Structure 1
Amino acid sequence: MSGAGDPAEIFRQEAAELLEQLEQALLDLGRRPDDRGLVDTAFRALHTIKGSGAMFGFEAVAAFVHDFETAFDRVRSGLAPCSPALVAAALEARDHIRALIETPAEAEPGRGTALLAALRLAVEGADAPAAPPGVEPPGAEPEAEWLVRFHLGGEALVNGANPLLMLDELRALGSVTVTALTEAVPPLDEIDPESCHLGWQVRLRGRCSRAAIEEVFIFVSDDARIQIERLDAPATPVAEAPAAAPAAPVPAQPASAPSTPAQPAPAQPMAEKPRGEGEIARVGGSLRVQAERLDALMDRVGELVIAHARLSQIASGGEAGLTTVAEEIGRLVAELRDTTMSIRMLPIGSLFTRFRRLLHDLSRDLGKPVELVTSGEETELDKTMIERLADPLVHLIRNAVDHGLEAPGARIGAGKPEAGSIRLSARHAGAEVLVTVSDDGRGLDAERIRASAIEKGLISAEARLAEHEIHQLLFQPGFSTAKEISAISGRGVGMDVVKRTVEQLRGSIEIATRPGRGTDVTLRLPLTLAIIEGLLVRVGDGCYAIPLSAVEECVELPPPEDGRSGGYSLLQIRGALVPFLRLREVMRCTTPPDPHQKVVIITAGDQRLGVVVDQILGSHQTVIKSLSRLHADVKTFSGATILGDGSVALILDVAHLLEIGEEEGRRTRMRQAA
């Protein structure tokens, strides 16, 4: 397996980012075809991929992107409009580039040729108005003559730069005359074979801009000495600049040539100034690190948290000096934990942008115009959470477009805009992140869901379910209300995967629907999967941890309630009735209860539940350890943690406790009604 330092792996990582930029630019061009900035962004991404691919040995990528770039250059030059057919062909070509980079052995033979033909047809077959003879097409560069001198840095060849490729790219811009600059070549016995001693002078005439020439040197501009000078002044009746003198060493700063008011100022080199301390700081502002190393760092921090808990327990013996050291180490451990967790946090906007392409393709396949609206892109979430959220959100979006949004004619008949709307939003709510997928479609039909569930044998015809319980049937394996099976949905696969994945992330799903107006599906997720603050409680002889983010308050259990034999009861807290559940009964404890029991009020969304425990032991930094596969079906616990004395405490699953409380409440109401 390639390591992080492997040049090919570095290229793949950078190419993935460039392909993402290319895709976003192409999708934006589908909506704003006249935006020259977007065209330039797409062209720069292609140009960079081509240069990097050739540099790192991806010849098939470089060759394909070169032809792709040539076709797209007609749009950049204003010779052809950016049509929907071109955007569609360019997106497919982008997918082919990714296949050539990631899995070249699996790339379909002949697909590249077919895609390039489609690109040429989209560009050359466009009904672009022909320019009259002698008239420049809009946006086309006028013909110009340039003088380019460049010396590569001493380490350029070692770093993979190839001057022959740069000369080839300059030749593609027009007619060129190339002269080698040999004045810096040392005697033979002093030559370093790994250093570049030659320089080049290129006289170029063609329809190209300064920016196009600068892009040739995009990978070496930091260390190279490059001078670009225009020899002919546009729209100025002056004689052509004299031919270049015999090669001379390129100075650190170009010499100032005598000029007249009509002459342009001498061109400045692209990169000749030395890097100062500030520039070095900017270059070192970010660092690419393997995800495995971050995971290993998080594991070590977790072990450090456990070791500190043990130290604190030993220091509680009363020795002042040891207690002071334990407190100082605790402060440092907390800061290290927070810093490490912040390194793993990424803005969720990096996930949202992936779905623009999905909606583009769904809109085309289903014939439904769809607009994507996003908000809260800056909301940060653990990188592992973001990676595992991708598939659930894909299923939710596909279902929203296929089942939720009406056909264009039906929308117009209902007084809605022809184009449907899918909204992705994220926001913080305490120690949770709420990710919501909303549509403005027809909403959920509870009776239709119930009828389908009865038909499939998921519930009995006599079952009485609340509306939110009916909505949860959507997440049952094999459930679907689609009348026809399509390539998008209808087989009952997907929504159960969503629920299973969200539960594995210790999250929950809420559904809110408005008949005729749309549906909101909200995923409630913890910020991180590694370390949380927990409230340690004792029930019988066992210790358990409750995520502190779900704890609202702790109160004493009043004597009247304390005297009841069990079951589902209500507690009055500041005028509000809160149901409570005895953990002793859930855990089937046989030891006698403590005389003064406590109630921990936990919340999730609008639900509140009191959990009766024997004793509250205090807060605890909880390092979450996954349960074994043998305990995968035990829903009461979401994991385990190690305490300071080496014992294990199970972490209670708040969502499951709320479900137990709701089920007990339903049974109590049924008994009372009977």
Structure 2
Amino acid sequence: MSDDMTTQVFKEEAYELLGELETSLLELEDVPDDMDIINRVFRALHTIKGSGSMFGFEAIAEFTHEVETIFDSVRNGELPISKPLLTLSLSARDHIYSMLESPSGEGDFALGNGILDGLRDVAYGALGGTVHEQADSAEEVEGSTASDFSVESQSGMEGKSRVTKSLFQIVIKIAAGHDVDEKSLDPLLDELERLGEIRSKLVHKDAETWWDIVFESDTDSMSIEEIFFFTDIPVTVNVREVAREDIADMFVSGDEDDEDYDSGHVKKLGEILVERGDVPAEAIEAVLADRKPIGEMLTEKGVVSREKVESALAEQTATKQFNSSVKKTRKKNYDTASSIRVSAEKLDYLVDLVGELVIVQAQISQVVSSKGDPVLTALSEELERLSDELRDSTLGIRMLPIGTTFSKFRRLVRDLSEELGKEIDLHTNGAETELDKTVIERLGDPLVHLLRNSIDHGIEIPRTREAMGKSRRGKITLSAEHSGGDVMILIEDDGKGMSKEVIRAKAVEKGLLSADQDLSDKEIFNLIFEPGFSTAQSITNVSGRGVGMDVVKRAIDSLRGSIDIDSKEGKGSVITIRLPLTLAIIDGLQVRVSGDYFVIPLSLVEECVELTRKDVEEANGQQFVNLRGEIVPYIRIREWFEVEGESPPIEQIVITGLEGSRIGVVVDTVIGEHQTVIKSLGRVYRDVEGISGATIKGDGTLALILDIPKLFRTVLAEIKAAG
């Protein structure tokens, strides 16, 4: 793998870890004592540090190691989680991100040192000692050299680093004739714990005093033995590797007499004793005829002491736990390794190719239908089926849970509320709702602006909320859900809401409407989307410059979506965004008006009915149709787009539904379903009302895609204006 590719692999992994790190730090603010979250933070920092060192990002490795040292104290229960600690840790996360983005990989050196000094001050105040001493200790514990890591290639995932751990049995014996207090070994055992974790420790006193320790570490046996080289205590040390993470699959089944045994990965008790040299293999075979547990049988036969059986059982228990942990880790690694990263450019190109394939398939189907050949027809139908499956599968690859966008907003709300002196909780619902990758990417900035407005304009400061009888802490809810063929995103807050009078007065002042003009509540609220419109009394770092909401609306419109506002003064506001699932390919209903073809998104179509001349006459010129007792308004595409030609005696009304209302779209002929590859319109036609895009038909001609939500709003506005 080239250097550029390995660097890219490291960066992609680091970005994912930084995202997880930020999420975990924010979660710690709510549950500061949750050790699972603390361990997630530590693991993320440790992996970034180790991978950074391995791939040559030494500045990142050194900086991250300092932060990791602080969280090692947190993990050990020495340093409590506090708001200053989390704030500085989030700043450290941002600094690591900027270092990744920096061409040199070093970032702002002074800024990094300032963050580390702040972390040390927090730790010093809580621990009453120097953090540098802890850093030296942590360096011995974890190490930050590339030798701790191995590079794997699994299912196309290259450059993934991990620590390979082993389980050791350590037997420490006191030389004959010496009586040594157990506490004398404590300093040596403390040194041992710097290299890993003691899983069990048994002290025996028979003919001699000896310690039997089962120890888990990512080091080697020589490093363990070195701890005891320079001690004055007369000991002999034997270190034996019991299990290793990368060969655990080779272990044989365990003792069938042990009901708690998890089959696989664990040696039988007899095998452990034979391997240690404590019992000859012949003795094991001699006692297997008995039905008692093998440890008890061996003890009764006097083959081995009870202390040694207890030691072997301790090793077996530790091995079970170790291999269970390995199994979980392997499953997690397998789940990760079974997916691969693909660049967005390659994915976009794949979607473009599928789109062209869909067009060609439509052309083939059209040609085949004119031939009337049954063999060609069967092949064409099979091609259409495969084309549909390929389209759905490809678009499914592009679908991502919107929660990937939601998660980053917790940080925004936290930082901004702190800056403005407010107390705000962000609640999210429907994070698993999936949207096209492109829609999610382009949705980020509009959502950021809407959230900033809710925080700045909507939520009041704590003392104001208390005076109004509200909770000190404001609440913003960000939710997503599927609604037909669309996704609906809601941003709700329990703030002060919007004043219709203030909005109207500002609109009159700016000349957007006359003082006596009658507007509905919805129309008044929609005035805030006008360019340069702002009701803020002063300009702040957050808002007040009159730039933003019009940009938000244009961004939503460019996604073929809609945005609406509902607000109650003193109660709060709700902003509703409706977006299509994908911007690439949709199922559509193809219709014709004279010689022109149009496509209506099939997800909005409810039914098709006929419209006769008699129906028109009975309506007395009003564009309404009586649909099984329900009065449904309709719009004529011929009139809307000024299509030349006479209407046929019997027209078709396509009934569409949106937001609980229905309107009809009158066309000459309904042709049928059509798999529509959406093509953007050029600048000249981009702002044509009622058109959201175009598609290429099977014969190579164009069909315009109708913007039903836009037509919907226009028709309803005309009905309201007419009274």
Instruction: Name the TM tier (shorter chain).
Output: 0.7 to 0.9
1:646 aligns with 2:700: yes
Say which SS state the counterpart of residue 388 (structure 1) adopts: helix
* Match in the other structure for 2:13: 14
Q: Which amino acid aligns with 1:33?
A: P
Matches of 1:161 and 1:583, distance apart in 2: 57
Structure 1 residue 413, shift from structure 2 partner: 2.1
Task: Choose between structure 1 and 2: higher helix proportion.
Answer: 2
Matches of 1:36 and 1:543, distance apart in 2: 62
Q: Which amino acid aligns with 1:314?
A: V
Kindly report which structure 2 residues correspond to 1:155-554, keeping only aligned pairs within 5 A, or say none.
205-208=191-194, 210=196, 242-244=236-238, 256-257=275-276, 258=278, 260-261=308-309, 263=311, 264-265=314-315, 268=319, 282=335, 284-317=337-370, 318-554=372-608
Tell me: CA distance 1:359–1:303, structure 2 relative to 1, closer, same or farther (3 Å).
same
Contact 2:221 2:241 in 1 (8 A): no
Structure 1 residue 153, shift from structure 2 partner: 7.4
Q: Which amino acid aligns with 2:57?
A: F
Tell me: CA distance 1:638–1:262, structure 2 relative to 1, closer, same or farther (3 Å).
same
Contact 2:458 2:572 in 1 (8 A): yes
Contact 1:345 1:383 in 2 (8 A): yes
Structure 1 residue 657, shift from structure 2 partner: 1.0
Matches of 2:59 and 2:357, distance apart in 1: 48
Structure 1 segments unaligned to the other structure (5+ residues):
131-136, 145-149, 168-201, 214-223, 233-238, 670-674
Structure 1 residue 285, shift from structure 2 partner: 2.3
**TM-score with structure 1 setting the length:** 0.81
Kindly report which structure 2 residues correspond to 1:76-95, keeping only aligned pairs within 5 A, or say none.
76-95=75-94
Cα deviations by residue, 1:398-457 (Å, 9 ceiling, x for unpaired): 111111112211222222211111111111111111111111112221111111111122
Tell me: CA distance 1:590–1:212, structure 2 relative to 1, closer, same or farther (3 Å).
farther
Contact 2:6 2:159 in 1 (8 A): no
Tell me: CA distance 1:211–1:14, structure 2 relative to 1, closer, same or farther (3 Å).
farther
Tell me: CA distance 1:544–1:273, structure 2 relative to 1, closer, same or farther (3 Å).
closer
Aligned residues: 599
Matches of 1:24 and 1:572, distance apart in 2: 54
Tell me: CA distance 1:581–1:3, structure 2 relative to 1, closer, same or farther (3 Å).
farther
Tell me: CA distance 1:559–1:228, structure 2 relative to 1, closer, same or farther (3 Å).
farther
Contact 2:497 2:570 in 1 (8 A): yes
Matches of 1:265 and 1:39, distance apart in 2: 29
Tell me: CA distance 1:203–1:411, structure 2 relative to 1, closer, same or farther (3 Å).
closer
Cα deviations by residue, 1:286-338 (Å, 9 ceiling, x for unpaired): 11111111111111111111111111111212211111111111111111111
Cα deviations by residue, 1:79-123 (Å, 9 ceiling, x for unpaired): 221111111111111100000011245933411111100111111
Tell me: CA distance 1:289–1:227, structure 2 relative to 1, closer, same or farther (3 Å).
farther
Tell me: CA distance 1:545–1:368, structure 2 relative to 1, closer, same or farther (3 Å).
same
Quick check: which has more Rg, 1 or 2?
A: 2
Range moving further from structure 2, 39-48 or 509-518: 509-518
Matches of 2:431 and 2:85, distance apart in 1: 29
1:610 aligns with 2:664: yes
Cα deviations by residue, 1:510-529 (Å, 9 ceiling, x for unpaired): 22223322211111111111
Range moving further from structure 2, 347-356 or 68-77: 68-77
Say which SS state the counterpart of residue 646 (structure 1) adopts: coil
Q: Which amino acid aligns with 2:574?
A: D
Tell me: CA distance 1:430–1:5, structure 2 relative to 1, closer, same or farther (3 Å).
farther
| Greater than 6 Å deviation, 4+ residue runs | 2-5, 150-156, 159-163, 224-232, 245-255, 269-275, 277-281, 564-567
1:66 aligns with 2:60: no
Matches of 2:331 and 2:467, distance apart in 1: 61
Contact 1:538 1:617 in 2 (8 A): yes
* Match in the other structure for 2:634: 580
Contact 2:10 2:159 in 1 (8 A): no
Tell me: CA distance 1:80–1:278, structure 2 relative to 1, closer, same or farther (3 Å).
closer
1:47 aligns with 2:19: no
Contact 1:151 1:226 in 2 (8 A): no
Matches of 2:413 and 2:486, distance apart in 1: 27
Cα deviations by residue, 1:197-219 (Å, 9 ceiling, x for unpaired): xxxxx999254474699xxxxxx
Matches of 1:580 and 1:161, distance apart in 2: 59
Structure 1 residue 246, shift from structure 2 partner: 11
The Cα RMSD (Å) is 3.9
Range moving further from structure 2, 521-530 or 23-32: 23-32
Matches of 2:539 and 2:326, distance apart in 1: 64
Q: Which amino acid aligns with 2:524?
A: I
Q: Which amino acid aligns with 2:535?
A: T
1:103 aligns with 2:123: no
Kindly report which structure 2 residues correspond to 1:650-665, keeping only aligned pairs within 5 A, or say none.
650-665=704-719
Tell me: CA distance 1:362–1:596, structure 2 relative to 1, closer, same or farther (3 Å).
same
Matches of 1:249 and 1:378, distance apart in 2: 40
Contact 1:4 1:290 in 2 (8 A): no
Q: Which amino acid aligns with 1:310?
A: Q
Say which SS state the counterpart of residue 439 (structure 2) adopts: helix
Say which SS state the counterpart of residue 321 (structure 1) adopts: helix
Contact 2:478 2:491 in 1 (8 A): yes
Q: Which amino acid aligns with 1:96?
A: H
Matches of 1:96 and 1:274, distance apart in 2: 35
Contact 1:482 1:490 in 2 (8 A): yes
Matches of 1:549 and 1:246, distance apart in 2: 67
Matches of 2:148 and 2:469, distance apart in 1: 66
Matches of 2:3 and 2:666, distance apart in 1: 51
Tell me: CA distance 1:153–1:408, structure 2 relative to 1, closer, same or farther (3 Å).
closer
Contact 1:534 1:620 in 2 (8 A): yes
Structure 1 residue 560, shift from structure 2 partner: 3.9
Cα deviations by residue, 1:495-524 (Å, 9 ceiling, x for unpaired): 112111111111111222233222111111
Cα deviations by residue, 1:54-92 (Å, 9 ceiling, x for unpaired): 111111101111111122322222222111111111111
* Match in the other structure for 2:114: 114
Contact 2:192 2:224 in 1 (8 A): no
Matches of 2:239 and 2:461, distance apart in 1: 70
Contact 2:221 2:239 in 1 (8 A): no
Tell me: CA distance 1:603–1:240, structure 2 relative to 1, closer, same or farther (3 Å).
farther
Matches of 1:589 and 1:240, distance apart in 2: 103
**TM-score with structure 2 setting the length:** 0.75
Contact 2:152 2:161 in 1 (8 A): no
Q: Percent identity?
A: 45
Contact 2:366 2:698 in 1 (8 A): yes
Contact 2:605 2:654 in 1 (8 A): yes
Tell me: CA distance 1:617–1:241, structure 2 relative to 1, closer, same or farther (3 Å).
farther
Tell me: CA distance 1:70–1:493, structure 2 relative to 1, closer, same or farther (3 Å).
same
Structure 2 segments unaligned to the other structure (5+ residues):
142-146, 166-187, 200-217, 227-232, 252-266, 279-306
Q: Which amino acid aligns with 1:24?
A: T
Matches of 2:238 and 2:189, distance apart in 1: 9
Matches of 1:4 and 1:578, distance apart in 2: 65
Matches of 1:540 and 1:667, distance apart in 2: 30
